[in-house]
Copies of this chain bind each other. A is one copy, B any other.
Amino acid sequence: MPAQSLRMSRPGLILKLRCHDQPGIVAKIANYVAGHRGNLVEFNQFSDPLGGKFFARLEIETHDLDVDVQDFIDGFGTLGRSLHADWHFRRLPYRMRTAVLVTKTDHCLNEILWRTELGELPIEITSIIGNRDNCRPIAEHSNIPFHQIDMDGGQRGPGFVEIRRLIESQNVELIVLARFMQILPDDFCRDFGGRIINIHHSFLPAFIGANPYQQAYERGVKLIGATCHYVTADLDAGPIIEQDVERVQHFHAPTDLVRLGRNCERIAIAKGIRYHVHDRTIIDGHRAIVFPD
């Protein structure tokens, strides 16, 4: 069921849809696609028996369509509205315009850059924004504009105004917090809802907030983890996209947890971004439906 990397670079469409569950819904959607000679290369759906909702993701090859791609998209509206659905089409190939926010540590940023160059992440990084200057050399080596924005003390408010200005002027679609050590203002979270991805260096909901590795050490856990999640105004409580864990023992000091935890953080943030950019996630309240690849 997965989109392979290559597939994302061929002409086609992804359709994401959410509505109340109802009889015949799969048939109706599949009929629309087949009726226009769309080739369904992947079709994931989930009928939630508890919430009464229906979620679907379709990946459609469009070279044999009997109408223009835009007409195919527009024409779906009649069905979509009759289902009272939320839906979204994305044309392939595409690269999602992405801003990466950082502070000092660079392992998540490095991971994102490396996977982008490798073709694993179809994103275009429009800018790297730091409230510290540490990551500037990495940005410059990758020829990506770096913006240092002071956010200490009274600069926090104006700082976020500046970030918002940058992001809006660059038509950014995705904001990645790659170990960005600042709490976002509520209105920022709200306005960019579902478009901000964070990596938290613990196995949420354990160890919310500051210094999770120190907390993990003090609690004496036998597994540490990392969580990639959507950001909401509720700190570290947004819908989880991906989590990863690693086994630890009593002899691991907090500095060891930091070292081993980086492995989890890098894997989890890379998978989380990939799922989002490939439209493999659908937010449903506090949870995220994820169709992994």
Contacts and interface: CB of A to CB of B under 8 A. Distances in A.
Given A203-B203, A253-B50, A259-B5, A286 B220 contact: yes
Contacts of A284: 250
Chain A, interface size category, equals 35 or more
A26 B223 CA distance: 29
Contacts of A251: 1-2, 46, 48, 293
Interface stretch (A126-134, A152-160, A241-249): A241-249
Given A5-B255, A222-B242, A288-B220, A23 B47 contact: no
Contact of A219 (B4, B48, B114, B286): B286
A157 B166 CA distance: 57
Given A2-B256, A251-B2, A289-B250, A34 B42 contact: no
A7 B253 CA distance: 12
Contacts of A286: 218-220
B110 A114 contact: yes
Nearest to A32: B27
Interface in A213-264: 218-223, 225, 239-243, 245, 247, 249-253, 255-256, 259, 263
A30 interface: yes
B250 A288 contact: yes
A41 interface: yes
Interface stretch (A90-98, A182-190, A204-212): A204-212
Interface of A: 1-2, 4-7, 23-24, 26-28, 30-31, 33-35, 37, 39-43, 45-50, 64, 107, 110, 114, 118, 120, 141, 203-207, 218-223, 225, 239-243, 245, 247, 249-253, 255-256, 259, 263, 267, 284, 286-290, 292-293
